[in-house]
Amino acid sequence: MKKGFSIIMAFVTVMTMLFSGVTFADDTNENTENKTKESNFTNLIVFARFLDEDEFIDNSYNGESVRKITDNTYNSAYFNVSDYYEIASRGSLKINSVYLFNKGGSVQLSHTRGYYAEYSEENPEGYRDNGERAERMYELKTDWSESINRAISAGNVITNYDGTKKYNFSELDKNNDGVIDAITIIYKNTTQSISVGWSSPLWNYKDYADYVKINADGKTITSKNYVQVTNSYNYLYKDNRENVILPMAVATHEMGHILGFKDLYNSSNSSPVYYMSAMAKHMSPVPQFISVKEREAKGWLTSDNVKTIYQNGQYTLKEASTRGDSQIVGYKLNLKGTNKTLYLEYRNFGTGGNKYDCQSKELYKTDGTKLKGLIIGSGLVCYLVDKDTKFPNNMGCVAGKWNYETLGGTYATKSDAPLKLNQSLEITDDMYVEVTNITDNQLTFKIEGDFEEQQTEIKEISDREKYDGRDDGIVTPVKDQGDTNLCWAYSSIAAAESSILKSGIDPTVTKDTLSLNPMAAAYRVFKRESDPLGNTDGDWQSVNYLTQSGDPLKIAKLYSMWWAPVSGNVVTTNPYENPSYRFENAIYIPENKSNPEEYIRSIKKAIAKYGAVTFQYNNARETLYYNSKNEQGSTISPHACTIIGWDDNIPSDKFVPNGATQKGGWLVKNSYKSLEYFWLSYDNTSSCSYAFSFAPKDKYDFNYYYDGSMGDFPLRKDKSVANVFKAKKSDDLKDEYIKAVNVAIGGENVTAKVEIYKNVDYPYGGQDNVPVSGGYLANTTTAYFENSGYVTIELNQPVKIEKDQWFSAIVSVSNENGDAKIMTSYKNGREMSYINNGSGWTQLKNYVGRIKVYTKLENKVENPTIEVPTTEAPTTAEVTTTSEPTTEAPTTAEVTTTSEPTTEAPTTAEVTTTLKPTTEVTTTLEPTTNGKTTTRVDGVNKKSLKQTKILKVKKLKNRKVRITFKKVSKAKIYRIQYSTDRKFKKNVRTKRTGKTTYLLRKLRVRKRYYVRVRAIVGKDKGKWSSVKSFKVSKRFYK
d(CA 475, CA 481): 17
**Taking the domains of the chain in order of start, what are their residue ranges?**
6-235, 274-451, 473-691, 700-859, 950-1036
d(CA 41, CA 178): 13
How many residues belong to the chain?
Answer: 1038
Dihedral of CA atoms 206, 209, 214, 220 in degrees, nearest 10, equals 110
Q: What is the pLDDT of residue 743?
A: 98
Residue closest to 355 by CA, chosen among 274, 257, 248? 248
Buried-state track 176-214, b at ≥16 Cβ within 10 A, e below 16:
eeeebbbbbbbbbbbebebbbbbbbbbbbbbeebeebeb
Q: 594: helix, coil or strand?
A: coil
Q: Prior bond to 657 cis, omega within 30?
A: yes
Q: pLDDT tens-digit profile of 662-678?
A: 999 999 999 999 999 99
Q: What is the pLDDT of residue 872?
A: 38
Domains 700-859 and 950-1036 share a fold: no
CB of 986 within 8 A of CB of 912? no
CB of 720 within 8 A of CB of 747? no
Backbone angles phi, psi at 252, to 5 degrees: -70, -45
d(CA 278, CA 270): 14
Q: What is the pLDDT of residue 37?
A: 52
Beta strands 734-746 and 851-859, pairing class? antiparallel
Q: What is the mean pLDDT of each run of 10 residues along the chain (1038 residues)?
A: 36 36 34 57 97 94 96 96 95 96 96 93 91 95 97 96 95 95 95 78 93 92 96 92 93 96 89 93 89 96 86 85 82 88 94 86 89 89 94 91 93 92 86 87 86 67 94 95 97 97 86 96 95 92 94 95 94 91 96 90 95 95 95 86 98 96 97 97 95 92 95 88 96 94 95 95 88 94 92 92 96 93 88 89 91 94 51 32 29 31 30 30 32 35 73 85 91 88 82 87 83 86 91 58
Which H/E stretch holds residue 187? strand 182-187
Q: What is the pLDDT of residue 504?
A: 83
CATH class, domain 473-691, is alpha beta
- Sign of torsion over alpha carbons 393, 394, 396, 399: positive
d(CA 868, CA 358): 20
DSSP secondary structure letter of residue 303: T
838 Cβ contact list (under 8 Å, min separation 6)? none
Q: What is the CATH code of the structural domain delimited by 700-859?
A: 2.60.120
Q: 973: helix, coil or strand?
A: strand
Indicate the average pLDDT of the chain.
Answer: 85
Q: Render 991-1038 in DSSP notation, one character per residue.
A: EEESSSEEEE-SPPTT-EEEEEEEEEETTEEPPPPPPEEEE--GGG--
Helical H segments across 154-219, by residue range: none
Please state, as a whole number, how many other Cβ atoms lie within 10 Å of the Cβ of residue 294.
26
Residue closest to 158 by CA, chosen among 105, 100, 74? 100
Q: 440: helix, coil or strand?
A: coil
For 950-1036, which CATH superfamily applies?
Answer: Immunoglobulins (2.60.40.10)
Q: 144: helix, coil or strand?
A: helix
CA angle centred on 948, ends 944 and 953, rounded to 5°: 170
Q: What is the pLDDT of residue 960?
A: 85
Half-sphere exposure of 378 (CA within 13 A, CB side): 26
Q: What is the pLDDT of residue 1038?
A: 37
